[in-house]
């Protein structure tokens, strides 16, 4: 019975890692312009999520009037190259593709009069050189 539990635990961990990998580096495969929405809210938490290789992705936990969202922003290195960062308590406006009830893949984020463009209208990441599926 212990071996069976271990197998299920490993399968669950593997599924979680695959989900994180796709939502970070390859999240644009899930980007659907038809589900695009814009929300305004307060950053509750900034998370650094390990991705493939040495890549780390940035997520925001965003509290809005309609609920809390997990906002998939993009590679932390891309944010740094754009000289853009986030901190708890900041007010932001996020335009992105809504996945499920509480997840957004960000296309554009506005903060303090500045605009960070992460993806084009079709969801192709700015850091990918124009190719879908590139980290």
pTM comes to 0.74
3-class SS at 17?
A: helix
Q: Is the pLDDT of residue 18 over 80?
A: no
- Higher-scoring residue by pLDDT: 21, 83: 83
- What DSSP string describes 101-125? TTEEEEEEEEETTEEEE-B-TT--B
Instruction: Name the β-bridge partners of 50.
Output: 56
Tokens of 11: 């399968």
Q: What is the mean pLDDT of residues 111-134?
A: 84
Superfamily of domain 2-121 in CATH is Nucleic acid-binding proteins (2.40.50.140)
Q: Is the pLDDT of residue 7 over 90?
A: no
Per-residue pLDDT band at 130 (split at 50, 70, 90): low
Per-residue pLDDT band at 52 (split at 50, 70, 90): confident
pLDDT at residue number 55: 81
Q: Is 28 exposed, middle or buried (0-12, 13-18, 19+ CB in 10 A)?
A: buried
Cα 37–chain centre separation: 15
pLDDT at residue number 27: 41
pLDDT at residue number 43: 98
Per-residue pLDDT band at 14 (split at 50, 70, 90): very low
Q: Is the pLDDT of residue 135 over 60?
A: no
Q: Is 111 exposed, middle or buried (0-12, 13-18, 19+ CB in 10 A)?
A: middle
Strands 67-75 and 56-64: antiparallel
Name which of 31, 1, 12, 26 is nearest 106 in CA terms: 31
pLDDT at residue number 2: 52
């Amino acid at each position: 019975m212990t071996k069976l539990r271990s197998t299920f635990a490993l399968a669950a961990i593997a599924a979680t890692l695959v989900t994180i990998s796709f939502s970070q580096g390859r999240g644009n495969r899930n980007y659907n312009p038809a589900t695009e929405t814009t929300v305004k809210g307060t950053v509750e938490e900034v998370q650094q999520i390990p991705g493939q290789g040495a890549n780390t992705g940035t997520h925001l936990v965003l509290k809005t009037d309609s609920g809390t969202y997990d906002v998939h922003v993009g590679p932390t290195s891309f944010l740094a190259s754009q000289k853009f960062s986030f901190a708890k308590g900041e007010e932001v406006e996020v335009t992105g593709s809504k996945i499920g009830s509480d997840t957004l893949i960000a296309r554009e984020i506005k903060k303090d009069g500045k605009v960070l463009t992460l993806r084009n209208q079709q969801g192709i990441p700015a850091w990918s050189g124009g190719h879908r599926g590139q980290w």
